[in-house]
Amino acid sequence: MYYIFNKENNCICSCDYKPNIDDLKTRGEFCIESDKTYNSISTLVYENGKIIEKELPKENILTIKESKISMSDEIEMLKKRIQELENTIS
């Protein structure tokens, strides 16, 4: 598998064939061939000549889950808003 990294050494994509090296260079990108298959390219960085898997910050994942409104709460909010709009029309 080939992993393509940008100027910041973050993995931006992967492919199972050798990419066009000249094309990558025009954007400051480079590829690394690896026998290992990774689950998520968004966690990969290239450091000290190796592909490293970084963990995503857990607090970001928790914040997203905590801020999510339930579907029933959202429906109730929409019903109230519709009622308010109907009252202004009549």
Are 77 and 36 contacting, i.e. CB atoms less than 8 angstroms apart?
no
- Which pTM was predicted? 0.62
Contacts of 65 (CB under 8 A, 6+ apart): none
87: confidence class by pLDDT, cuts 50, 70, 90? confident
pLDDT tens digits, 33-52: 999 999 889 999 999 999 99
What whole-number distance in Å separates Cα of residue 32 and Cα of residue 39?
Answer: 16
* pLDDT the model gives residue 84: 85
Compute the mean pLDDT over every residue in the chain, rounded to the nearest whole number: 87
Provide the residue type at 15 as one letter: C
